[in-house]
Structure 1
Amino acid sequence: MELYDTEEQTVEAIRDWWKENGKAVIVGAVLGLGGLLGWNYYQDSQTTKQENASTDYAQTMQVLSEDNAKSQAQVQDYIDANKDTAYAVLASMQLAKVQVEAGELKKALTQLKWAQSHTDDQALKPVIAVRIARVESELKQYDNALATLKNVKAKGWEGRIDELRGDILLAKGDKSGAYSAYSQAQQAKDVSQTLQMKLDDLAK
């Protein structure tokens, strides 16, 4: 870096530098400010979108509580309109629950698989997988249900997974496999209150 002997030399050097670089500085500043404003606009628009989706979700769930074909169609419309939000996944799960209660198992399975493929939430993934396995078992798709459970690797779900695996194997007619799965479930911390009863029934 050059050292200047007088203030006049310093001022002259600054003028020369500005002539050569001033335009680039201005352009850079404008682009930087534009980028900042653009990012803030994007953030604000995303926040507004999430808030609107949240409000609409609450209203949609109220509609779903009416439990009729029209309400299900409205929930599906909400899911389609908000498919890139977490609320759409939650709505899909709730719609699947209503469909299971109505005996519409194939529709419920479609909803759950959609929810599974549209979320990266590690807390939701095992919940959705377990529900899929239960519906597949009810549809007598036992091998599919067992394969679904095999892919659940979340910590803290070991007991529930093994117990459900036992339920599926029992429904499939594999009593020894079910007993083994129930016994393994006993070793986990998340043991259900009904597990011992299931083991006792099989031991008779």
Structure 2
Amino acid sequence: MEVYSNENEQIDAVKQFFAQNGKALVIGVIIGIGALAGWRYWSSHEDGGSRQASASYQQVSTALDASKPATLDAAAKFARENSNTYGALASLDLAKRYVDANQLDKAAEQLQVGLKDTNDANLQAVMNMRLARIQLQQKKPDEVLKTLDSVKGDGWTAIVADVRGEALLSKGDTHGARDAWSKGIASDASPALKEMLQMKMNNLPG
């Protein structure tokens, strides 16, 4: 099982799969997370429509450039017209560009669009984590906590605990933050992530 060191590498792994398997229909996404996450896809034959969607996704994804609004509009149009995994991935790509441009409202909106385009719990978990981090930047801790409740799977425990602790701390709930980070440390997380959570706990008042 391949293990990836951060969420960006998870997304890169997804894109690489689609690039190398343009003639396959993804029927499962299984994330095995030891440190943070690992992606492995299983597939079967896809029809002509899926092949076209795959090619179109690769085209709009490659062309995305935050300095060129037309490419963002094209990606948004593709996401709206493709209620499938390709549409969800396009929304994920587009949301990143909006974050880079500090357009957090648009990024959050795009992720919410993408979440409706896939029924795969693992891909939804990635998107919900991205959404929670954006909501944290927007200083919306209650929305962060609600979004994190949608992330399922033991492999996400430490990552969810990290963001949950930050959200609770922003609400002034020091005890809640300490409890969240303690659960992350007790999980099967990477040593680096556990060390980071421990440092956050050590810096808490009291």
Q: TM-score, normalised by structure 1?
A: 0.71
Shift of 1:145: 0.9
- 1:133-186 deviations in whole A, cap 9, x for unaligned? 111121111111111112322231111111110011122232222112111111
- 1:61-113 deviations in whole A, cap 9, x for unaligned? 111146432221111122223x2331111000110111011111111111111
Shift of 1:57: 1.1
C-alpha change, 1:176 and 1:101, in structure 2 (3 Å) is: same
Which whole-Å CA distance do the structure 1 matches of 2:180 and 2:112 have between them? Answer: 25
Counterpart of 1:182 in structure 2: which amino acid?
W
Which whole-Å CA distance do the structure 1 matches of 2:83 and 2:129 have between them? Answer: 23
1:180 alignment partner in structure 2: 179
Larger Rg: 1
1:4 alignment partner in structure 2: none
Which whole-Å CA distance do the structure 1 matches of 2:87 and 2:76 have between them? Answer: 9
2:197 alignment partner in structure 1: 195
2:119 alignment partner in structure 1: 120
Counterpart of 1:64 in structure 2: which amino acid?
L
8 A Cα contact 1:165 1:181, kept in partner: yes
8 A Cα contact 1:162 1:182, kept in partner: yes
Match status 1:63 vs 2:30: no
Matched residue SS, 2:161: helix
8 A Cα contact 1:129 1:148, kept in partner: yes
1:129 alignment partner in structure 2: 128
Identity %: 32
Matched residue SS, 1:118: coil
Divergent runs of 4+, >4 A: none
Larger strand fraction of residues: 2
* Equivalent residues, number: 158
8 A Cα contact 1:67 1:98, kept in partner: no
1:50 alignment partner in structure 2: 50
Counterpart of 2:202 in structure 1: which amino acid?
D
2:139 alignment partner in structure 1: 140
Larger helix fraction of residues: 1
Which whole-Å CA distance do the structure 2 matches of 1:76 and 1:92 have between them? Answer: 7
Matched residue SS, 1:50: helix
- RMSD value, Cα: 1.8
8 A Cα contact 1:50 1:85, kept in partner: no
1:20 alignment partner in structure 2: none
**Structure 2 runs not aligned, ≥5 long:** 1-45
**Structure 1 runs not aligned, ≥5 long:** 1-45
Which whole-Å CA distance do the structure 1 matches of 2:152 and 2:59 have between them? Answer: 34
Which whole-Å CA distance do the structure 1 matches of 2:115 and 2:73 have between them? Answer: 20
Counterpart of 1:48 in structure 2: which amino acid?
G
2:93 alignment partner in structure 1: 94
2:105 alignment partner in structure 1: 106
C-alpha change, 1:75 and 1:142, in structure 2 (3 Å) is: same
8 A Cα contact 2:165 2:176, kept in partner: yes
Which whole-Å CA distance do the structure 2 matches of 1:76 and 1:151 have between them? Answer: 24
